[in-house]
Amino acid sequence: MRKWLPSWLTQRLNGADVGIDLGTSTTLVYVRGKGIVVREPSVVALNTKTSTVVAVGAEARAMLGRTPQHLRAIRPVVEGVISEFDIAQEMMRHFLSRALAREPMSLFGPRVVVGVPTGITTVEIRAVRDAAQAAGAREVHIIEEPIAAALGIRLPLRDAQGSMVVDIGGGTTDIAVLSLGGVVESRNLRIAGDTFDRDIATYLRNEFKLLVGEKTAEEVKWAVGAVRELPKSLEVVLRGRDVVEGLPREVVVTDRDVREAILPSVHAILEGVREVVEATPPEVLADIMQRGAYLVGGGALLRGMPELFQEALGIPFSVAPEPLLAVVRGTAVVLEDVEAHRDMLVTHDEEEIVAPQ
């Protein structure tokens, strides 16, 4: 748009700037000038009889495990990538509509920056682009989540210094060593918060003979979850169905139970981080040893996580401020000046998609 046009007319023609952290568990939407305006579970409730969307976000998540036969509560993003294109499109359309409800009407749709896991395929990237464009975006840019997270927590990515970010999300864990505006070493693991939830549900079935749903397992994780022994034990009363008798039953679950359930998966993440560290050039690794590494994403909030990483790897680890918001804040940084960050965006040998105008 020509620079001599007044800002209000440019906005009216071009629409808003929107950043999206399209997570497996939670979707966050940022609108430039307004901040983070949507923070909802990535769940859609669908009426299978009429093929219509009944609910999106928190309302749909409340239906998980409780729907009648004609309703399905669907997570359209699995392990960080879109698995149900049409449902993901409807979810993004709903969240964009909510985010832009009070924005002035524009001739074209918003410009959108979306965070995606590292290492996803060109087809999966294309699905994200197409879903955002079908939801109304006029222009779609893709950025890898570790880079977005590093921008969001204000790490000096352009400097000749090494930085390390471990993003433990809902569906994937992204491990990245960054320097001079790019990725030095990285790895994507399909082990993260949802894996922990399944571990807990499996442990309860095997050790307590109790069946619980994924939502209940997640609630237990946040209530008493820890990866190291705590000074004072935590416990929670849990209700589920007895495997043997098929009747309701209560049990007391402690932080030790959760720790035993999830530690194999946590150790798999640690091993992935170790492999990235071992492949990192010595000069970059020296920077990380001096400045420390950062944990972001929901998994960073599990009790004892940074201490466990530091003990296992010998690198100072800390939880970034507001780790759940790091990626979406990174998209906000990109939106401030897309051209200045263009070299950090994902292209995969194809141009950024721009809707016909």
pLDDT digits (tens, 9 = 90+) for 162-195: 999 999 999 999 999 999 988 999 999 999 999 9
In a domain, 61, yes or no: no
In a domain, 174, yes or no: yes
What pLDDT, in 10s, does the model give residues 257-299? 999 999 999 999 999 999 999 999 999 999 999 999 999 999 9
* Secondary structure of residue 27 in the 3-state scheme: strand
Could you tell me if residue 64 is inside a domain?
no
Query: Could you tell me if 341 and 247 lie in one domain?
Result: no
Q: Which residue segment(s) compose the domain that 251 sits in?
A: 158-320
In a domain, 53, yes or no: no
Is 152 inside any structural domain?
no
Q: Tell whether 137 and 216 lie within a shared domain.
A: no
Q: Which residues contact 90 (CB under 8 A, 6 or more apart)?
A: 44, 53, 56
Same domain, 180 and 124: no
209/96 same-domain check: no
130: CATH: 3.30.420.40
Residues paired with 73 in a beta bridge: 45
Query: Is the pLDDT confidence value at 3 over 70?
Result: no
pTM of the model: 0.88
Mark whether 202 and 228 lie in a shared domain: yes
Residue 349 · residue 158 · CB < 8 Å: no
Q: Are 277 and 285 in contact (CB under 8 A)?
A: yes
**108 band by pLDDT with thresholds 50, 70 and 90:** confident
Flag whether 49 is in a domain: no
Burial of 49 (0-12, 13-18, 19+ CB in 10 A): exposed
Q: Are residues 269 and 310 in the same domain?
A: yes
Q: Residues with Cβ < 8 Å from 356, sequence gap 6 or more? A: none
Task: Give yes or no: residues 197 and 336 share one domain.
Answer: no
310 and 346 in a single domain? The answer is no
Q: What is the DSSP string of 90-134?
A: HHHHHHHHHHTTTSPP-SS--EEEEEE-TT--HHHHHHHHHHHHH
Asked whether residue 304 falls in the same domain as residue 189, the answer is yes
What 3-state DSSP class applies to 28? strand
Asked if residue 183 belongs to a domain, the reply is: yes
Residue 4's alpha-carbon distances to 8, 11, 60, in angstroms, are 12, 13, 46
Number of domains in the chain: 2
Do 291 and 174 lie in a common domain? yes
Encode pLDDT of 113-128 as tens digits: 999 988 888 888 999 9
Residues 231 and 110 in one domain: no
In this structure, are 92 and 115 located in the same domain? yes
pLDDT tens figures, 208-231: 999 998 889 999 999 999 999 999
In a domain, residue 209? The reply is yes
